[in-house]
Amino acid sequence: MRALLIDITKCVGCGACVAACCQQNGLPVEDSAELGPHHYTVVRKVRTRRGEAYYRRLCMHCLDPACASVCPVGALRKTSQGPVVYNPSICMGCRYCLQACPFDVPRYEWDSLAPKLGKCSFCAERLAQGGVTACAEACPTGATMCGERDELLKEARARIAAEPGKYLPRIYGEHEVGGTSVLYISHVPFSALGLPENLPLDPLPAYTHRALSQIPPLAGTASLILAGLWWLTNRKHEVARRESGRTEREGLR
Amino acid sequence: MTRLRMLFWRWVALAILAAGAYATIVRFTKGLGGATNLSDQMPWGLWIGFDVLCGVGLAAGGFTITMAVYILHLEKLRPIVRPAVLTAFLGYLLVIVALIYDLGRPWNIWRPTVMWNPRSVMFEVAWCVMLYTTVLAVEFSPLLFDRLGWRRASQRARAAMVPLAVAGFILSTMHQSSLGSLYLIVPTKLHPLWYSPLLPWLFWFSAVGAGLAMVIFESGMSARAFGRALEIDVLEKLGRAMAVLLGVFWFLRLWDLGHRGHLGAAFQFSGPQAFYAAMFWLEALLMLGPAALALSDRIRLHPQRLFALACTVVAGFLLHRLNVSTTALAAGSRYFPSWMEVAVTLMLVTLGIAAFRFAVLHLAVFGPSPRVRQFPEVKPALARYA
């Protein structure tokens, strides 16, 4: 499984990744402070108590993505190589993916009459050909690295261990919502980088699965009970009808 | 006087339809962005929160009454089966229309029938709504067949009522609860006073409770509009059931909040959280208040009072669903529906009322006779447009 390691301490905010991303995806190159339907990644400066840093956002490519689990038609799916990819031709535009994403990543072409979702595709075609993502290739400082997830985790741990004073002692994305394919290490708090700090460690689809998996047994039991109830009350009625018929006849006699 | 009132309501309805038509044009020429206040942070607004979540919930009276009559043989409720089925059928048709407005790519609405993702709650809801609308169409069809004089078709449809009632109950239970399950995946975005692992159960109980309130409401309205006597001896039974169901809903809700240690949030009356606490207690007041009052015979057996209770419960139910779907979401404070969203919603409600009135005037919704033309001179108010 491929992943990206983003080392915020190494980012100089040159924006080469953004330009490479736009070029790769045929998007207009414009400055944007936030993700948008045509801005799959952004870089911008943030000031925090622990100093300045460059905020870089993109789709986290969760290991068990909420967006793919909620899509009623499976227009979003996680490939075996790691990317979470989108197929607009079958999308109904229900936007449950936007609602479900814990990182608020997917963006929508609100003004289009055939709106599509806009988000990073992890350069799925490049990965399939054995390459790395456009952003990782373009990064001059090695702040974005593309590789196998296990190895990048090892690398991240090694960097944190080598300079414990510099890094916060945590790899963001290692465990959040069951783990993500984009990993961050940083010297400033992750919340300043737009990464939510209130996420559970379980994959979010598990929350839904607990309810959905109860349905088949419940529906089966309910049909049996209803059939039984119908039989009971029906019989009661029939007995009552026969009884009343008999008393009527007896009364006539 | 009544003429004036009639004229007033006719103009109101026309104004709503005109505004709705304009909003429709904007929606389908400028896209969702041009017509709505939706955003990437608030991808679902009034059309999902009201038209779908509330519309489906309030149509729960259909499957509840059908089950009570055909499965439990509660013969007393038989006179209200047809209006309840009609309301539910129209309700589901309007939900589908609302979805065509809300979906970004509505021409793909049929896709879930062939592209399966059984992990998705939305997928399950889509199937259940599709199947249950079909069930409702068949349950409703004898009225149409009788009118057309197709006796054999009518008999066939009537013969299927028991299995249809069972199917209706199962399908409704599944998707009514699943509307709550839609929100299970946003534990970090929905306020703890509304997020609960019990959301599917809460949505089921509130829908059945408020669905019964809706039947009472709709009977009261039709009684006034069509000059019929109110079946109070039937409706008071629904009032009692409604009270019990809402009681269970609130018991589950409070128990769950206590169990998970979030009950404190309901008592934070200062700071930014006060708004949520106030909303929570307003919901409680609007639902638990009428439920408690409905236990009193003096109130429940009184037509106007029972009608008022039902209206209050429906209001509380709408508040709860709109809170879950908009206000209580983290980004909820950034959303308020645009006037065009409101116009489309009002237009759909108006069309629903008009369709109901049309059906009552032409089909045997309230009486055993297929010729309902013999209705006495129709009474005031909503009648003409309702």
Per domain, the residue ranges of chain A are: 2-205, 214-252
- The verdict on a CB contact (< 8 Å) between A111 and B116 is no
- The verdict on a CB contact (< 8 Å) between B126 and A226 is no
ipTM of the shown complex? 0.90
Q: In the prediction, which pLDDT does B226 show?
A: 82
Which residues does chain B have within 8 Å of residue A66's beta carbon, measured at their own beta carbons? 185
SS3 annotation, chain B:
CHHHHHHHHHHHHHHHHHHHHHHHHHHHHHHHHHHCCCCCCCCCCHHHHHHHHHHHHHCHHHHHHHHHHHCCCCHHHHHHHHHHHHHHHHHHHHHHHHHHHHCCCHHHCCHHHCCCCCCCHHHHHHHHHHHHHHHHHHHHHHHHHHHHCCHHHHHHHHHCHHHHHHHHHHHHHHHHHHHHHHHHHCCCCECCCCCCCCHHHHHHHHHHHHHHHHHHHHHHHHHHHHCCCCCHHHHHHHHHHHHHHHHHHHHHHHHHHHHCCCHHHHHCCCCCCHHHHHHHHHHHHHHHHHHHHCCCHHHHCCHHHHHHHHHHHHHHHHHHHHHHHHHCECCHHHCCCCHHHHHHHHHHHHHHHHHHHHHHHHCCCCCCCCCHHHCCCCCCHHHHCC
A2-205 placed in CATH 3.30.70.20: yes
- The verdict on a CB contact (< 8 Å) between B103 and A94 is yes
Q: Which of B119, B174, B188 sits opposite A102 (nearest CB)?
A: B188
End-to-end CA, chain B? 18
Weakly modelled stretches of chain A, pLDDT under 70 = 246-253
- The verdict on a CB contact (< 8 Å) between B200 and A211 is yes
Of B248, B227, B220, B238, residue with least CA distance to B311:
B220
Q: In the prediction, which pLDDT does A251 show?
A: 55
| Number of Cα atoms under 13 Å in the Cβ half of residue B140 | 23
Q: In the prediction, which pLDDT does B271 show?
A: 84
**Burial degree of A25 (CB within 10 A; 0-12, 13-18, 19+):** middle
Specify the pTM: 0.91
Residue B374, chain A, CB below 8 Å: the answer is no
- DSSP letter at A164 equals T
Residue of A nearest to B326 (CA): A99
- The verdict on a CB contact (< 8 Å) between B188 and A199 is yes
Residue of A nearest to B42 (CA): A99
35-64 in chain B: CB under 8 A from chain A: 38-41, 43-44
Residue of A nearest to B47 (CA): A94
> What is the Cα–Cα distance from A229 to A101, expressed in whole angstroms?
43
Residue A205, chain B, CB below 8 Å: the answer is yes
Q: Which of A69, A98, A230 sits opposite B40 (nearest CB)?
A: A98
Fold of the domain built from segment(s) B2-384: Formate dehydrogenase/DMSO reductase fold (1.20.1630)
Going residue by residue through chain B (386 aa), what tens digit of pLDDT does each one get? 577 888 898 899 999 999 999 999 999 999 999 999 999 999 999 999 999 999 999 999 999 999 999 988 888 898 899 999 999 999 999 999 999 999 999 999 999 888 889 899 999 999 999 999 999 999 999 999 999 999 999 999 998 999 899 999 999 999 999 999 999 999 999 999 999 999 999 999 999 999 999 999 999 988 888 888 788 888 999 999 999 999 999 999 999 999 999 999 999 888 888 999 999 999 999 999 999 999 999 999 999 999 999 999 999 999 999 999 999 998 888 899 999 999 999 999 999 999 999 999 899 888 754 333 444 444 444 444 44
> What is the Cα–Cα distance from B258 to B25, expressed in whole angstroms?
48
Coil, helix or strand at residue A250:
helix
Residue A104, chain B, CB below 8 Å: the answer is yes
Residue B113, chain A, CB below 8 Å: the answer is no
Residue B142 C-alpha, separation from nearest chain A C-alpha, in angstroms: 22
Residue A236 C-alpha, separation from nearest chain B C-alpha, in angstroms: 10
Residue A61 C-alpha, separation from nearest chain B C-alpha, in angstroms: 17
Q: In the prediction, which pLDDT does A248 show?
A: 58
- The verdict on a CB contact (< 8 Å) between A72 and B104 is no
Across the A:B interface, residue pairs with CB atoms under 8 Å apart total 168
Residue A45: phi, psi to the nearest 5?
A: -80, 135
pLDDT tens-digit readout, A169-227: 999 999 999 999 999 999 999 999 999 999 999 999 999 998 899 888 888 898 889 88
Q: Which of A98, A215, A227 sits opposite B174 (nearest CB)?
A: A215
Q: In the prediction, which pLDDT does A250 show?
A: 59
Of B1, B12, B3, B68, residue with least CA distance to B385:
B12
